[in-house]
Amino acid sequence: MKLNRLLGGLGKETFPKKDLHCGQYVGFERICKSSQAFTLIEMMIVVSILALIIGMTTQMANHVVASNNLTLAGESMQDALRAARHLAMAKDRVVEVRFYKTSDPESMEAKSHINSMQTFVFDAENLSAKPFKQIIKFPSGVVLSDNETLSSLVTESRIKKNWQERDPKVAVPGSGGAYVAYTLRFMPDGSTDLDTQKLWFATLHASHETKLPPDNYVTVQVKATRGGIRTLRPN
C-alpha cells in the first residue's frame, strides 16, 4: 500500500500516458521520438540537393567569367590593331604587330598558345624596329587560334623569320626567345601588307575549346586595302 501511495504521489508528469511519439517506460523515464528529427535518408537528400545547386551556380559563374574574359580579349586586340594603324599614319612609319605563340607554363602537356601581342615601330629605312608599348597579354583562359580555318592571320606565311641585328628577336616574359611570332604590318597610308585578294581574320576563344567553330568566340577581321578593323561574334 505504501509503495502504491509513493508511486501515486509522483504525479502524472512522471508517468504520463503514452502518446503517438513515446515508447515504453525505462525506470522512471520514457523513451520518446521527436517528431521534428531528420532521418539519415532525408539528410542525404538535402545534402544532394544543396550540392546540385552549388554545382549549377559554380558552372554558371565560370561561364560568365569566361565570356567576360573573351569580350575583354576581343576589345584589347581590336583596340591594339586600330592604335597600330593610327600610329603608322601619324608617324609616317611602318608599324608591325606581332602575335606571340609561347608554351603555356600552366599546362602539364607543355602546349603552345598564341596568348599575347605587341606593337613595333620601324625607322624611316624600315630596318630598325622598337617596341612601342609593353606586351598585351590576353585574359586568362583566352587564346588566339592558330587553326587556318579560324585565323588566316596566323598561318605559316605570316611567321616572322627575317630577324636582323637592328630588328632582333626580343625576349618575351616567361619564354625568352623560345616563341613563334606572326606579323601584320600597317603602312604609313593606313593599308596593310596583306594580300588584297584574300580575307584576313583571327579568332579568339577559350583555351579548352576543341570544336570547330567553338561554342563562343570573337573574330577580328582586318581589311587588307584600308586596314579597317571590325569584330564579329556568334549570335
**Mind giving me the DSSP string for 92-153?**
TS-EEEEEEEEE-TT-TT--EEEEEEEEEEE-TTS--EEESS--EEPPTTEEE---TTT-GG
Phi-psi region of 7 (alpha: psi -120 to 50; beta: other; left: phi over 0): alpha
164 in a structural domain: yes
pLDDT tens, 183-229? 999 999 999 999 999 999 999 999 888 888 898 999 999 999 999 99
- In-domain check, residue 17: no
Q: In the chain, how many domains are there?
A: 1
Task: Indicate whether 3 belongs to any domain.
Answer: no
Residue 127 lies in a domain: yes
Residues of the chain short of pLDDT 50, as ranges, are 3, 6-7, 10-21, 23, 25-28, 107-109
For residue 156, what are the domain limits?
41-232
Per the CB < 8 A criterion, the answer to whether 95 and 122 are in contact is: yes
- Position 25 in a domain: no
Q: What is the CATH number of the domain that holds 50?
A: 3.55.40.10
117 found inside a domain: yes
pTM for the structure as a whole: 0.74
